[in-house]
């Protein structure tokens, strides 16, 4: 295992997933196929992804005191993620995501935040002396406080897009956005933060910028896509870990694209996350360094 230590602050959900041939149009009712309830939440997904890639990981999050909580935390426990900073809400149930996945792997997601919205500054440690990964499925003041208390590398996945204080964006060493999120915030504004920017392009791969200039571009290896849920979270964990470990920009981006691609080959946000050996095999087959 790598000596790299990462703290992830973010959401913990139970994903309620229905698979169907096509995604429903507005007002349309479809008869779906398989149903599954699976662990999810961007924070939990990114924490488990980083752990499976070899980092030591702690998760700061919140679940309810309900039946969904243990199922939502199950794979994190099995995977060895430190859950000592994951607390219980007395006021809200565990967060739930309603997910529809089409035969081509595309998805629609609606999230009921539940206990994630109850995460408070008082739930944070006084200092975070490791790298930090955060996203936007928790209250902004809590994320701000975590960033302020962090003494290490700060990676922010600006998803789902919503207005943020400029000071929060400026505090990041790495910002990860997809094309929709880049349009929401404006790439010029993100470049002005001084952070490295990883822009994901779905099946077309990703671009890494530093100081407003493209420094690396990568495409994912060809895989058979069955489910894109969680692929973005796998990418976030991989690019963060690779840059912390000092990999060259082009190598780090190719690695992250490979991890994201491999995550699409299985069903489920967390059940589909690859481990370090699997990504090493894939990258070797494509001639890339793992």
Supply φ then ψ for residue 9, to 5 degrees. Answer: -115, 130
Closest CA to 143 of 134, 130, 151: 134
User: Is the distance from CB of 232 to CB of 260 less than 8 angstroms?
Assistant: yes
As a whole number of angstroms, the distance between CA 47 and CA 83 comes to 10
Given the residues 118, 227, 233, 249, select the one marked as catalytic.
Answer: 233
Secondary structure (DSSP) of 136-200: SSS-HHHHHHHHHHB-S-EEEE--S-----HHHHHT-SEEEEEHHHHHHH-HHHHHHTT-EEEEE
**Do residues 181 and 206 touch, judged by C-beta distance below 8 A?**
no
Q: Is 233 a catalytic residue?
A: yes
Rounded to an integer, what distance in angstroms lies between the CA atom of residue 78 and that of residue 81?
Answer: 8
Tracing tokens 């920017």 back to the chain, one arrives at 197
Closest to 257 in 3D by CA, of 244, 242, 269: 242
**Active centre residues (catalytic):** 233
């Amino acid at each position: 295992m790598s000596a790299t230590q990462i703290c992830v602050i973010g959401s913990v959900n139970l994903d309620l997933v229905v698979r169907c041939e096509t995604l429903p149009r507005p007002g349309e009712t479809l008869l779906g196929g398989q149903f599954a309830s699976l662990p999810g939440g961007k924070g939990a997904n990114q924490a488990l992804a980083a752990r499976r890639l070899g980092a030591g990981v702690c998760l700061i999050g919140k679940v309810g005191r309900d039946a969904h909580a243990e199922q939502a935390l199950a794979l994190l426990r099995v995977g060895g993620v430190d859950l000592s900073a994951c607390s219980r809400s007395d006021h809200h149930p565990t967060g739930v995501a309603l997910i529809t996945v089409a035969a081509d792997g595309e998805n629609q997601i609606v999230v009921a935040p539940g206990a994630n919205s109850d995460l408070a500054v008082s739930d944070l440690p006084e200092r975070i002396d490791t790298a930090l990964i955060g996203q936007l499925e928790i209250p902004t003041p809590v994320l701000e406080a975590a960033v302020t208390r962090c003494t290490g590398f700060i990676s922010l996945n600006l998803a789902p897009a919503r207005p943020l204080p400029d000071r929060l964006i400026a505090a990041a060493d790495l910002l990860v956005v997809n094309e929709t999120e880049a349009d929401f915030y404006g790439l010029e504004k993100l470049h002005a933060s001084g952070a490295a920017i990883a822009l994901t392009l779905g099946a077309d791969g990703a671009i890494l910028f530093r100081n407003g200039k493209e420094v690396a571009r990568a495409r994912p290896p060809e895989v058979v896509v069955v489910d894109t849920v969680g692929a973005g979270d796998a990418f976030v964990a991989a690019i963060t870990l690779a840059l912390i470990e000092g990999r060259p920009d082009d190598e780090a981006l190719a690695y992250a694209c490979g991890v994201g691609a491999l995550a699409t080959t299985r069903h489920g946000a967390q059940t589909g996350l690859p481990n370090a050996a699997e990504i090493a095999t894939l990258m070797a087959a494509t001639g890339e360094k793992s």
